[in-house]
A and B are shown apart, each in its own frame.
Chain A
Amino acid sequence: MGRVYLPATLETVFEILSREPSARLFAGGTDLLVRSSAVRRNEGSLVCLERVEGLSGISESDGAVRIGACTTHGELMAGGLITERFPILREAVRHIGAPAVRNMGTIGGNICTASPAGDSLPALYVLDAEVELHSAKGQRRMPLGRFISGPGLTALEPGEVLAAVWIDKDQGFNFHHFEKVGQRKAMAISVASMAFAAHLDGAGSVVRARCALGSVAPKVFTSQALDAFFAGKPLNEETLGAAAALVREGVSPISDVRASEEYRRTVAGNLLMRLEGARAAVR
């Protein structure tokens, strides 16, 4: 069995990675450790990031909120700042697993696993999140949409660590909705999910909208044409029916043990139709 490192600083993480480039990073372990000790016996070293300084916690700086990569989903839900500023992120994270999984799994892990079904991802896309990456050479930032390039594929370079997620404080949305379709409420991997946020004017027409769907394409599905389509329109059956058609055309789902391609395509559009009811519920 490989070693398990529990470093306290990023410098130590970089040293370990330069010595053992094949060592794998994890925080909550809810994806990487889903295998028995017997299987892991033949695998390489693990680096647990849970105690690395600067990777945990939520902080505010001018204009933006920084969420440490090792902040757990449970901590995100409890954080007043997230509930107040980014309710759609809290709502998305609430749909992950169950309490024990949310007490272990982290936002950074959800991003780096880069599963098309990662439940925090559609909300993070809607909020235009950026990732902060550190390596021995320094640090860089990039939009989440560029960081994730496909299932399990990210722009992380060898020796690089995701340290934090940045979200602009002023999103200007006054309506949001997250919905996930799974095989049951708790512990379900999404069959399809949707995060939607909009600025609605006094008459209920969309000034600006952002929509992202999970589990219906190799990465989170977003479309500038779709977002632009909502502008100036109310969230009624006619608007949403046309938006649903755009979504069903645009997505590229797969068939797997959880659902067929056709089912996912249909449901992806149906999720848009739910916005009318969601809007009515908060009016």
Chain B
Amino acid sequence: MKRKITFILNGSEVSIETDPALRAVDVLRQDLGLTGTKEGCGEGECGACSVLVDDTVKLSCLMTAAQLEGKKIVTIEGIARRQELHPVQQSFIEYGAVQCGFCTPGMVIAAVGLLTANPAPTREEVRDAIGGNICRCTGYQKIVDAVEDAARKMREGHSGG
């Protein structure tokens, strides 16, 4: 039942033999060992498994492995540029937007997705962008602060770190 699936993962082409009916999150975590992408609810409610598919934020728990074929996938492991953190990651650290850390990969992906499409979001737009990402620690304010700060940094051309 296995099938060869080829896609671009964090900038490099990968080809894997896997069951196309598996969920994308299982392929990323188990077949490819990229455990930065988290599985929270497995029902599309919590956002922890968010990844970028052709630069658009999607939920890897609601995608089959088959749908990865030919796509450009970016996981949290592909957000930093080599050793340099992405401005969103840097701002999360500076603003104390990470507590237990479980929601953080999904939050960062949601924020990067927002800022790619909208470099100057309002606070309300930031809140809407992370509306599907559940955090049980921070109370969200520091996350929103961090995303606003990252937007500023990116507009001013800071690379982050």
- A residues at B contact (CB < 8 Å): 1-6, 28-30, 33-37, 40, 46, 48, 50, 74, 97-101, 103-104, 185-187
Contact = CB atoms under 8 A, between A and B. Distances in A.
Interface size class of B (residues with CB under 8 A): 20 to 34
A4 B20 contact: yes
B126 to A, nearest CB: 11
Contacts of A97: 44, 132
Contacts of B50: 100
Given A1-B19, A3-B20, A6-B69, A100 B63 contact: no
A263 B6 CA distance: 51
Nearest to A1: B21
B66 A187 contact: no
Interface stretch (B52-60, B74-82, B89-97): B52-60
A33 B132 contact: no
B32 interface: no
B67 A1 contact: no
A187 B131 contact: yes
Contact of B44 (A37, A74, A101): A101
Nearest to B114: A99
Contacts of A36: 23, 42
A48 B132 contact: no
Interface string B102-116: 000000001001100
B43 interface: yes
Contact of B66 (A6, A35, A100, A101): A6
Contacts of A46: 21, 64
Contacts of B128: 98-99, 186
B20 A100 contact: no
Contacts of B23: 33, 36-37
Contact of A104 (B21, B42, B59, B129): B59
B4 to A, nearest CB: 13
Given A4-B21, A101-B44, A28 B62 contact: yes
Contacts of B110: 99-100
Q: Is the interface of A mostly helix, strand, loop or mixed?
A: loop
**Most chain-A CB neighbours within 10 Å: which of B20, B23, B43, B62?**
B62
Contacts of B56: 74, 103
25 contacts: A5-B66, A29-B63, A30-B59, A30-B62, A33-B44, A33-B61, A34-B43, A36-B23, A37-B23, A37-B26, A48-B64, A48-B67, A50-B67, A97-B44, A98-B47, A98-B128, A98-B131, A99-B129, A99-B132, A100-B44, A100-B47, A101-B44, A101-B132, A104-B59, A186-B128
Contacts of A2: 21
For the complex of A and B, list the 10 residue pairs with the smallest distance between their C-beta atoms, beginning with the closest: A98-B132, A186-B131, A98-B131, A4-B66, A1-B21, A4-B20, A29-B62, A100-B57, A33-B62, A103-B56
B100 interface: no
A2 B1 CA distance: 9
B104 to A, nearest CB: 16
Given A33-B63, A37-B23, A99-B131, 12 more contacts: A1-B22, A4-B65, A6-B66, A30-B44, A33-B62, A35-B43, A97-B132, A100-B58, A100-B59, A101-B132, A104-B62, A187-B45
